[in-house]
């Protein structure tokens, strides 16, 4: 049974919930290193071997890349209403991300000094899309669209094949609709390694993005430095702030919508009403019976989730900021009253008719969000993740002479005489 926590127990529970050790599992890290190193050394051969081991699919290197025929077959397999919803989502997400493009700037200072900043897209990006037992076409569009808007020229997508050796048609159609041509049947650590180092078939990229399980996350952690990564994603989580006027039925449904992702997911309610808290518990167990993934959701609710009862909204926001959730729903009325006090949250959903699912699929903002408390220092996936900043410096001889003495001071303090000489020799007769 999910617990209602109040009073002196709150701080104890918060301390327990904010400890993160999943990314430092030595046994899992060792297993990941072995897989990544094998792919780095053996290429396609290792990818095929681990695909058979983990996905139970026999695949030849020549079969890794998705063909145009498979794309055509995928279009025949999906329904018209899916294609309609997909096109609407693509339109909304593209429109939102186009607002994120930052301007370059240049300025001329005295002595004709030029300073500036350029924005340069990453050359190539690898997108990991979870698959196998489930299909997540929303992950395709959320990861690819900001890269496209940023101007990335080469986008490579990898996703694990299902038991039949094929990729779900909804995923293939989503990729085709946004112009991804290089799609490969590979998942898990072996796919991350293939993107990081390249194989005979799968090209090496400059940055890897996209969510995955703990092994995918540890593989991204291991290859960081060889390539860039978006973030180290953990299980999905949600915090809901509610008052006495909030609907327990809505709260329970929204908590379960995140709990059904994974047994490690977390759903937290912070309520100023004990009656709403108790009603939510009843609703959770009532609605659980109706879910297809009830066993997963129940495990996440009973092992990782809880309800905090607090005296006021100020305390509710304080707890939320400590948890730094991936998703924050503010159901207290009006939600704008406490929005400015929210500092740590990946995405904030205002009011009873803005459930997280709206952001998952249709609203436009990215659903790839900082998890496991990392919204304290991290942001949603955006166009900026696919752009490199390049500093521009242009000095004239008079401008350099004006700061020569200061350069020599710094070089002297740091004991780097060649630094001083590189500037000073330009003024020798």
Distances (CA, A) of 379 to 17, 228, 231, 374: 21, 16, 9, 8
Q: Which of 260, 264, 326, 329 is catalytic?
A: 326
Q: Is 45 exposed, middle or buried (0-12, 13-18, 19+ CB in 10 A)?
A: middle
Longest dimension (CA), the chain: 88
Token duo for residue 429? 């007769």
Long-range contacts of 346-349 (CB under 8 A, 24+ apart): 346/370, 346/371, 346/375, 346/378, 346/379, 346/380, 347/380
Whether residue 327 lies in the annotated active site: yes
Whether residue 326 lies in the annotated active site: yes
For residues 228 and 385, give the distance between their C-alpha atoms in angstroms, rounded to a whole number.
10
For residues 210 and 168, give the distance between their C-alpha atoms in angstroms, rounded to a whole number.
17
Helix, strand, coil percentages, rounded to 5, for the chain: 50, 15, 35
Place of tokens 């969000």: 369
Least Cα distance to 346 among 380, 382, 383, 317 occurs for 380
Token duo for residue 140? 């395709």
Least Cα distance to 363 among 35, 139, 28, 93 occurs for 93
Residue 3 DSSP symbol: P
Q: Which of 327, 340, 367, 419 is catalytic?
A: 327
Hey, which residues are catalytic here?
326-327
């Amino acid at each position: 049974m999910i617990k209602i926590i109040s009073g002196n127990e709150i701080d104890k529970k918060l301390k327990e919930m904010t400890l993160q050790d999943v990314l430092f599992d030595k046994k899992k890290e060792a297993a990941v290193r072995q897989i990544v190193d094998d792919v780095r050394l053996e290429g396609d051969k290792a990818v095929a071997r681990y695909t058979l081991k983990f996905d139970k699919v026999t695949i030849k290197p020549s079969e890794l890349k998705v063909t145009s025929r498979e794309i055509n077959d995928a279009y025949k397999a999906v329904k018209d209403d899916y294609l309609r919803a997909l096109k609407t989502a693509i339109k909304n997400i593209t429109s939102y991300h186009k607002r994120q493009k930052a301007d370059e700037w240049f300025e001329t200072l005295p002595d004709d000094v030029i300073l500036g900043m350029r924005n340069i897209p990453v050359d190539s990006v690898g997108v990991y899309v979870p698959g196998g037992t489930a299909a997540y076409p929303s992950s395709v569009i959320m990861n690819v669209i900001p890269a496209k808007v940023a101007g990335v020229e080469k986008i490579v997508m990898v996703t694990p094949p299902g038991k039949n050796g094929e990729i779900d048609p909804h995923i293939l159609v989503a990729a085709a609709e946004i112009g991804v041509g290089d799609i490969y049947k590979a998942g898990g650590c072996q796919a991350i390694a293939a993107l990081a180092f390249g194989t005979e078939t799968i090209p090496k990229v400059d940055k890897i993005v996209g969510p995955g399980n703990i092994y995918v996350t540890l593989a991204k952690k291991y290859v960081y430095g060889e390539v860039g990564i978006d973030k180290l994603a953990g299980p999905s989580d949600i915090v809901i702030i509610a008052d006495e006027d909030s609907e327990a039925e809505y709260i329970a449904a929204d908590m379960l919508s995140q709990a059904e992702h994974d047994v490690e997911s977390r759903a937290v309610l912070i309520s100023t009403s004990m009656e709403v808290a108790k009603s939510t518990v009843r609703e959770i167990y009532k609605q659980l019976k109706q879910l297809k993934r009830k066993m997963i959701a129940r495990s996440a609710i009973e092992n990782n989730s809880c309800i905090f009862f607090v005296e006021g909204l100020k305390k509710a926001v304080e707890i939320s900021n400590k948890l730094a959730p991936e998703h924050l729903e503010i159901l207290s009325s009006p939600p704008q009253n406490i929005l400015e006090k929210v500092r740590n949250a990946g995405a904030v959903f205002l009011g009873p008719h803005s459930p997280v699912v709206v952001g998952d699929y249709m609203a436009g903002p990215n659903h790839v969000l900082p998890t496991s408390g990392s919204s304290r220092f991290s942001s949603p996936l955006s166009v900026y993740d696919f752009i490199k900043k390049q500093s521009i410096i242009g000095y004239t001889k008079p401008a350099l002479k004006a700061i020569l003495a200061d350069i020599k001071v710094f070089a002297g303090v740091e004991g780097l005489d060649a630094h001083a000489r590189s500037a000073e020799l330009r003024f020798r007769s």
